[in-house]
A and B are shown apart, each in its own frame.
Chain A
């Protein structure tokens, strides 16, 4: 890799914009809403004393889907990471599309990890509570 070719050689791709940045937190938010709204509707229909087991299965399934989605987003960003932080050629001051792409990719990837932790924490109560009360 010679320096005069510059941007083209270092290019890691395009497409990481703000939409991709918020994908992971959006999955987290939707998972949160689906779990809590689903449990609320179930408990309202079934009565306060009823068992939470169907909700537990529902939350488990929703959580699996959410984690799968986050995993796919994570994988699509993992390749860029190889160039952004550990590649050693990141120009921290470079205000170029390539640098923005790398930075946003890295932030998006870390948001994937954060969102996955959030999703697991949201799901935990469903596995520890016995009834709707």
Chain B
């Protein structure tokens, strides 16, 4: 042991020091931990709870790891002690300590479960997972439903109850910055209570593989102050607005003539079909194609022509056979439907 070769402890040299390479990579990864889809940004009460749990477990896990590694190294370096010390150590460190830690974590986790006792007057938002978009309806106090699609609006600082189900396959509803997630299962109703705290625009996703375009199934979650939310909801409850222009009126006629209403509800314009997303106020949405594309003229036209190109295997057929002028008119009409 005493005649250890002198060169054993030489540090590695050269430009490829692992720590110097790892640092920029680590910084790049950490930079991704913020933004509209971060579970660590704490924009909702439930997300704050989860991120606190994450940090507690991270620090606790690191502490346990350091103690275990330190003890292992200590045991290697020290001469053996008596069996009595060893047994006490095994029972204390191997049985008592894990049991206490796990019991504490279980109690902490159980205390994080939502308080379901007071669910009387909450705003209820019904969300149904479709392939690959979100059917949304806000339940007013009198029981009527205000229909929308692919966007969730929430009042800040109030618990909101999501009533979740799915149409054909299992989806999962998740707004990482606010809270969740919860599976959406056909034939079953799951409930999730979330409290958004900071007004802003966040991103929600489908968190359960649901088919070809699963990765293209997202939505915007917009948190308003209470007054702004009420104003928004009152606007959504009204029928579609047809912009006062020749182009928009022509677009409305083309929209009806091309049979769009066979699948899309547009209150005040056509109220026949209910297969695709409700388009009543499509012009006011942030995104198209359920959270994947900007809501602008170019995208609207491209979507009408060939939706499968933007969202593979989507149920909507392309309308590239329509004259360009008709497609442009439909886009004008939809853009104006605020």
User: Cβ of B115: which chain A residues have Cβ within 8 Å of it?
Assistant: 130
- The interface of chain A, by Cβ under 8 A from chain B, is 113, 117, 120-121, 124-125, 128-131, 133
> Which of A124, A130, A131 is B107 in contact with, Cβ under 8 Å?
A124
Classify the secondary structure of B's interface with A: helix
Q: A-side binding surface: helix, strand, loop or mixed?
A: helix
- By the criterion CB–CB under 8 Å, are A129 and B113 in contact? yes
Assess the A128–B107 pair: CB atoms within 8 A: yes
Give the 4 A-B residue pairs with the shortest CB-CB distance, closest first: A133-B116, A128-B110, A131-B117, A117-B99
Q: Is the CB of A125 within 8 A of B116?
A: no
Number of contacting residues on B, CB 8 A? 13
Judge whether B116 and A121 touch: CB under 8 Å. no
Q: Which residues of A contact B95 (CB under 8 A)?
A: 113
Residues of B within 8 A of A130 (CB): 115, 117
Q: A128-B110, A133-B119 are in contact. List 14 more A-B contacts (CB 8 A).
A: A117-B99, A120-B103, A121-B102, A121-B103, A124-B106, A125-B110, A128-B107, A128-B111, A129-B110, A130-B117, A131-B116, A131-B117, A133-B116, A133-B117
Residue of A nearest to B95 (CB): A113
B residues whose Cβ falls under 8 Å from a Cβ of A: 95, 99, 102-103, 106-107, 110-111, 113, 115-117, 119
Question: Which of A113, A120, A124, A133 is in CB contact (< 8 Å) with B110?
Answer: A124
CB B253 to nearest CB in A, in angstroms, measures 50
User: Which residues in A have their C-beta under 8 angstroms from that of B106?
Assistant: 121, 124
- Closest CB-CB distance, A85 to chain B, in whole Å? 9
